[in-house]
Amino acid sequence: MSDHAAHHPINYVRIWFILVALLIVSVAGPMLGHPIITLITAFGIACVKAVMVARNFMHINLEQRYISYVIITVLVFVFLFFAGTSPDVMKAEGSGWVKPSWQAAASAANASEGGAAHH
Amino acid sequence: MSASARPIANTRSAAGIPTGKLAVWWVVASEIVIFGGLLAAYVMHRLAHDAWSVQAAHTNTWIGAFNTMVLLTSSLSAVLAHQAAERGDGPKAARLLGATMIGALTFLAVKAFEWTEEISHGFTITSSTFWSFYYTAAGLHASHVIAGAILMAWVAKDAAKNLELHRVELIGIYWHFVDIVWIFLFPLLYIAK
């Protein structure tokens, strides 16, 4: 802990109470049954809690600045991994490749819907 | 041990912070890539397969929330141990690290109970891709909890004798990272249904 932290002591118990309150909100949010609210209360609050732990418990903001840069850099790499590979996982076809099983399932679903509409 | 014989992790700070602490931050950065890759793979598969929600509905939100509470509380005791070590109170730091270890053991006991229930209901690592991700992610995280608890016992043993108190902060940084990983695993595996 730096001199800065010594001069401006963090109330760790207060931080813990806030984290627990956020946990309660993240559990209660999905009970409203609205997807957008669930997204915000579950994943938005998870991001807020993670930043709170990193700043107040890990004291990352009191470290040398390059530590934050290292952490941000690896997070960017994880995002690039996601952006680069997610189309292969999430789409049925792309440039020079197809997923035959996905296309067959989609065709079967379309045929089923068409048959139902015809009757 | 004389000052000249102390390891460079304690005494050298060419990068502006003690080398031991720099090493822990490198571990954290490496772990972000490991867990980040796993969770990113989970998210892209989860978004591509709506049917996973049927499987995800079987995870117990209350157990996940309880374990989140346990880890948040263990993080509090870990940072209070760091605070005690900064003030030179090794025995108090050791006691607080002991409380953190109790949190780790509680987390693992709840996880063991939860997995036993799920496996007894037929949800095993080979049941479906969702359960493969579930057991891999939660299992990898649990292995980090076990490693953290063992390292913490080692650090607490020395801290109780007012030795190597700087290590209390180092194990704390690692432990808070383990907490952050669970903060993201909880909504992914227990809330998004």
> How large is the ipTM?
0.90
- Cβ burial A25-51 (10 Å sphere, 16+ → b, else e): ebbebbeeeeeeebeebbbbbbebbbe
Three-state secondary-structure class, residue A98 = strand
Per-residue pLDDT of B129-186, as tens digits, reads: 999 999 999 999 999 999 999 999 999 999 999 999 999 999 999 999 999 999 999 9
| Cross-chain Cβ contact B187/A1 below 8 Å | no
The Cα B123–Cα B133 span in angstroms is 12
Residues of chain B numbered 43-62 and touching chain A (CB < 8 Å): 43-45, 47-48, 61
Task: Return the residue of A nearest to B31 by Cα.
Answer: A74
Kindly report the pTM of this predicted structure.
0.89
Going by C-alpha positions, the residue among A22, A63, A20 that lies closest to residue B71 is A20
Number of residue pairs across A and B with CB atoms under 8 Å? 114
Is residue B113 within 8 Å of B187, Cβ to Cβ?
A: no
Per-residue pLDDT of B61-98, as tens digits, reads: 999 999 999 999 999 999 999 999 999 999 999 999 99
Residue A70 one-letter amino acid: V
The Cα B98–Cα A103 span in angstroms is 56
Three-state secondary-structure class, residue A97 = strand
